[in-house]
């Protein structure tokens, strides 16, 4: 697992219907001048940093897994870590 | 098999409970590992282990189904687990994530009945009594299937739960264990004997090796033998208490497990990342544990009188101090007690010090000792006055800590007990005591607003970096609100 902890740009979809767990879907992000397209939302869960609400998104691009955090107060996206899908 | 054919004074010939099965047990099996696989698709289908903090001496607190099928067991050390499965992927626990799934599961369960009891963070019970004629007219198997589907929809498609239905909690739990993972089974009077015929004694919840041996001594070798035994046999020859009567009823589908439990102790333990006897390494971690225990005490609105410090000492690399000084284990036990009583203790204290072989009955501690190859040591003290502040806990615990044998420490724990409802509204006559209590309240308020352990003792700075929040894997769910504050 690689720790990143960097602010990133994210394109997010807000769906009107579908599974309750996937009504918000970060579709793609830009990181190190690369665009990564997400194919699956593994899990989204809220947590707190003091009284600040943080939404944690565990995303996958089909190969690697990415942990993103959305700060609901500052309205920022941060890429926390990347888990390589390489099984070796 | 020895059977007692005399008329049973208490229960007579109690038959199997003919009542309709209305208790549903929901179990998120391999919960933490499955949740991690749900969150990280690249882990799906792979052996995954969850631990509190990855280190050489850490152990698996949850294993995925794939890992379990390879022989990885909960409680197994990392090195042993890697010998069995070299490609085991270990991941550190993430309490807020599990708390969110727990809340989702609670919400789903509570939508069917007001009588929902969460037994731990990954399992709970729905009691359908009183709801069958109004809101839950469908067969409970249908409702069980619907709950499975809702968990997949609300949490994620990889989530699998076991559902068990029975006339009491024990049989519902037994049913939920029949087909793992993702099973749905029902046990009632019509199939109870058939199910028991297919199980071993140790498959029954609450019957481990120790009880199995006791049952074997009176000729009970299978669950059917257990069912056929009289309550006199169980009470007088096997369990030597009313626990025998409870088992007599429990096995027949009558409810005996619906009582509430009393809060008995609150504690924290930590497997040291460095096995050492160096106070400068141990104390920051130890102090941090004490502050965590203090937060739990205050969260539960109780004050404590008793405090226990225990350790597993690393005896693998050298002849132990105790062995060298005091000879055999039997001698050591008596010598330790003598040593304890010889100390000049304050009149209001009761102290005990013992190695594991002497009196420890805590199975998990025994297991920890066996897995670490170390030696268990503990010392406890019961005070006349109650305490709850971090400073009070640390001061009292430090006194016991300083009595320890001078050996490398592998695991250390602090536990408070002897609780009474908190008396914090009452100001003390002594100003120093009031100042300490006001300081504790102020620090708690700051931490509540800005995040737990935002303000803490300087001495715990190193400990805070190293000690991770423990997941109450086998205990209650009562600390989750506290865990949630920690980000």
- Establish if B484 touches chain A: CB-CB under 8 angstroms: yes
Q: Are the beta carbons of A40 and B41 separated by less than 8 Å? A: yes
Is the pLDDT confidence value at A87 over 80? no
Distance of residue B38 Cα from the nearest chain A Cα, in angstroms: 5
Task: Using the CB atoms, write b or e for B94-111: b if 16+ within 10 Å.
Answer: bbbbbbbbbebbeebbee
Is the pLDDT confidence value at B151 over 70? yes
Distance of residue B175 Cα from the nearest chain A Cα, in angstroms: 29
With a CB-CB cutoff of 8 Å, which residues 340-369 of chain B face chain A? none
Q: Write down the H helix ranges in B410-477.
A: 431-450, 461-466
Question: How large is the average pLDDT for residues B228-251?
Answer: 92
CA angle B68, B74, B80 (to 5 degrees): 80
Size of interface A-B (CB pairs under 8 A): 70
Between B53 and B333, where is the model more confident?
Answer: B53
Cα–Cα dist B312/B77, whole Å: 15
B39 interaction partners in chain A (CB closer than 8 Å): 42-43, 58, 65
* Domains of chain B and any CATH numbers: 19-186 (3.30.70.270), 191-260 (1.10.150.20), 265-485 (3.30.1490.100)
Instruction: Place A64 in a pLDDT band, splitting at 50, 70 and 90.
Output: very high
Nearest residue, CB atoms, B451 vs list A42, A49, A65: A49
Cα–Cα dist B186/B175, whole Å: 6
Cα–Cα dist B134/B132, whole Å: 6
The reported pLDDT for the residue numbered B12 is 56
- Determine the straight-line distance between the first and last CA of chain B, rounded to whole angstroms: 57
Q: Are the beta carbons of B153 and A65 separated by less than 8 Å? A: no
From the CA atom positions of chain B, what is the Rg in Å? 25
Best CA proximity match to B408, nearest among B281, B285, B254: B281
Domain boundaries, chain A: 2-83
Q: Are the beta carbons of A58 and B40 separated by less than 8 Å? A: yes
Instruction: Place A67 in a pLDDT band, splitting at 50, 70 and 90.
Output: very high
Instruction: Place B4 in a pLDDT band, splitting at 50, 70 and 90.
Output: very low
Instruction: Place B339 in a pLDDT band, splitting at 50, 70 and 90.
Output: very low
3-state class (DSSP) for residue B478:
coil
- Establish if A32 touches chain B: CB-CB under 8 angstroms: no
Residue with tokens 């050492």: B276
Beta carbons within 8 Å of B251's beta carbon, 6+ residues apart: B170, B196, B223, B226, B227
B99 interaction partners in chain A (CB closer than 8 Å): 45
Percent of chain B with pLDDT over 70: 78
Distance of residue B31 Cα from the nearest chain A Cα, in angstroms: 14
Question: To 10 degrees, the CA torsion angle through B441, B444, B449, B454?
Answer: 140
- Best mutation target among B44, B89, B121, B156 (most A Cβ atoms within 10 Å) is B156
Digit-coded pLDDT (tens) for B155-200:
999 999 999 999 999 999 999 999 988 899 999 999 999 999 999 9
Instruction: Place B463 in a pLDDT band, splitting at 50, 70 and 90.
Output: low
Retrieve residue B374's tokens. Answer: 């170390």
**In this predicted structure, which of B378-382, B405-409, B427-431 has the lowest mean pLDDT?**
B427-431
Instruction: Place B456 in a pLDDT band, splitting at 50, 70 and 90.
Output: confident
With a CB-CB cutoff of 8 Å, which residues 30-59 of chain B face chain A? 35, 38-43, 46
The reported pLDDT for the residue numbered B330 is 36
**In this predicted structure, which of B114-128, B256-270, B326-340, B401-415 has the lowest mean pLDDT?**
B326-340
Question: How large is the average pLDDT for residues B261-265?
Answer: 77
Question: How large is the average pLDDT for residues B112-130?
Answer: 90
Average pLDDT over chain B reads 80
The reported pLDDT for the residue numbered B436 is 79
Cα atoms found within 13 Å of the Cα of residue B390, Cβ hemisphere only: 23
3-state class (DSSP) for residue B87:
coil
The reported pLDDT for the residue numbered B333 is 34
B149 interaction partners in chain A (CB closer than 8 Å): none
The reported pLDDT for the residue numbered B165 is 96
B484 interaction partners in chain A (CB closer than 8 Å): 47-48
Distance of CA A33 to the CA centre of its chain: 17
CA angle B473, B404, B469 (to 5 degrees): 25
Distance of residue B42 Cα from the nearest chain A Cα, in angstroms: 5
Question: How large is the average pLDDT for residues B32-46?
Answer: 94
Q: Are the beta carbons of A56 and B484 separated by less than 8 Å? A: no
Is the pLDDT confidence value at B393 over 90? yes
Distance of residue B485 Cα from the nearest chain A Cα, in angstroms: 6
Retrieve residue B189's tokens. Answer: 């009077």
- Establish if A21 touches chain B: CB-CB under 8 angstroms: yes
């Amino acid at each position: 697992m690689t720790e990143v902890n960097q602010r990133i740009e994210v394109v997010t979809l807000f769906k009107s219907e579908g599974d309750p767990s996937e009504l918000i879907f970060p579709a793609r992000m830009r990181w190190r001048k690369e665009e990564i397209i997400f194919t699956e939302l593994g899990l989204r869960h809220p947590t707190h940093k003091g009284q600040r609400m943080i939404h944690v998104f565990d995303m996958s691009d089909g190969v690697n897994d990415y942990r993103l955090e959305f700060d609901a107060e500052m309205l920022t996206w941060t890429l926390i870590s990347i888990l390589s899908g390489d099984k070796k | 098999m020895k059977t007692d054919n005399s008329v049973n004074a208490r229960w007579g010939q109690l038959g199997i409970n003919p009542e309709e099965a209305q208790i549903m047990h929901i179990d998120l099996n391999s919960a933490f590992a499955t949740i991690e696989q749900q969150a990280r698709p690249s882990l799906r289908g792979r052996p995954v282990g969850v631990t509190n903090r990855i280190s050489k001496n850490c152990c698996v607190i949850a294993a995925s189904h794939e890992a379990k099928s390879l022989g990885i067991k909960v409680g197994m050390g990392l090195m042993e687990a890697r010998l069995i499965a070299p490609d085991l992927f270990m991941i550190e626990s993430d309490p807020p994530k599990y708390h969110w799934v727990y809340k989702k599961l609670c919400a789903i369960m509570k939508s069917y009945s007001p009588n929902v009891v969460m037994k731990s963070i990954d399992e709970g019970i729905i009691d359908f009594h009183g709801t069958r004629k109004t809101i839950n007219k469908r067969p409970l198997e249908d409702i069980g299937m619907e709950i499975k589907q809702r968990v997949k929809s609300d949490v994620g498609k990889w989530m699998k739960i076991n559902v068990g239905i029975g006339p009491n909690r024990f049989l519902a739990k037994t049913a939920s264990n029949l087909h793992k993972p993702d099973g749905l089974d029902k046990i009632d009077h019509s199939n109870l004997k058939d199910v028991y015929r297919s199980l071993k004694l140790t498959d029954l919840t609450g019957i481990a090796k120790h009880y199995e041996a006791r049952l074997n001594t009176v000729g009970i070798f299978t669950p059917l033998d257990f069912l056929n035994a009289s309550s006199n046999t169980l009470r007088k020859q096997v369990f030597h208490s009313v626990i025998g009567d409870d088992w007599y009823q429990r096995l027949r589908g009558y409810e005996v497990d619906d009582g509430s439990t009393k809060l008995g102790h609150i504690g924290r333990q930590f497997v040291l990342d460095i096995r050492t006897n160096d106070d400068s390494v141990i104390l920051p971690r130890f102090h941090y544990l004490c502050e965590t225990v203090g937060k739990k005490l205050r969260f539960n609105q109780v004050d404590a009188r008793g405090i226990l410090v225990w350790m597993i000492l690393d005896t693998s690399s050298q002849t132990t101090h105790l062995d060298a000084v005091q000879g055999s284990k039997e001698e050591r036990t008596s010598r330790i007690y003598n040593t304890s009583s010889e100390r000049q203790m304050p009149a209001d204290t009761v102290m005990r010090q013992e190695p594991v072989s002497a009196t420890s009955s805590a199975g998990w501690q025994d297991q920890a000792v066996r897995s670490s190859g170390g030696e268990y040591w503990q010392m406890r003290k019961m005070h006349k006055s109650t305490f709850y502040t971090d400073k009070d806990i640390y001061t009292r615990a430090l006194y016991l800590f300083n009595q320890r044998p001078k050996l490398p420490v592998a695991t250390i724990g602090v536990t408070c007990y002897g609780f009474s409802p908190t008396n914090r509204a009452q100001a003390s006559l002594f100003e120093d005591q009031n100042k300490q209590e006001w300081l504790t309240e102020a620090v708690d308020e700051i931490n509540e607003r800005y995040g737990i352990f935002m303000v803490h003792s300087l001495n715990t700075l190193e400990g805070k970096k190293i000690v991770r929040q423990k997941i109450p894997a086998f205990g209650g769910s009562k600390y989750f609100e506290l865990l949630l504050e920690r980000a």
